[in-house]
Amino acid sequence: MAGMRIKKGDRVRVLTGKDRGKEGDVMRAFPETGKVIVDGVNVAKKHQKPTRATMQGGIIDKDMPVHASNVMIVCSSCDKPTRIGYRGEGAAKVRVCKKCGKNL
Ligand SMILES: [Zn+2]
C-alpha cells in the first residue's frame, strides 16, 4: 500500500469506534494492510491455555490492529491531532504537522 503515513512510535488519536478519543503509541505498523497496532486501543480479551511453564491459563488483553484511516497522528509540537503534510523531495522528504508546520 503506497503512502501509509503513520509509523511505529507515532502518537495517535482514535477517530472512530469504541475507543474513539483515546490516544496511544503505535506499537506496530503494517503497510501491506494499512493497519496499525496502538497501545491500549482495540483491546480484545483472549483466552490463554495453561502452559507448562506457568501452569495457569487465563484471559489476557491483546491489542488488535485498527485501520490507519481510523486514527490521526498527534503532533508533538502543538499537541493536536493533525493531517500529515510533507516538506522536501525524495529521500529528504519529512513529515510536517498541517496545523503548526513543525516536523512530526
Ligand atoms: Zn503541530
In this predicted model, what pLDDT tens digit does every residue of 70-87 receive, in sequence order?
999 999 999 999 999 999
Distance between CA atoms of residues 29 and 35, nearest Å? 6
88-102 residue pLDDT tens: 988 888 999 999 999
Look at residue 23 and give its three-state secondary structure. Answer: strand
For residue 30, the CA-to-ligand 1 centroid distance in Å is 25
User: What is the per-residue pLDDT for 1?
Assistant: 38
The per-residue pLDDT for 3 is 59
pLDDT average, residue stretch 38-44: 96
- How far from chain centre, in Å, is Cα 31? 12
Ligand 1 center to 82 CA (angstroms): 7
- Indicate the pLDDT class of residue 2, thresholds 50, 70 and 90: very low
pLDDT interval class at 58 (50, 70, 90): confident
* Among the listed residues 73, 63, 53, the one whose alpha carbon sits nearest the alpha carbon of residue 5: 73
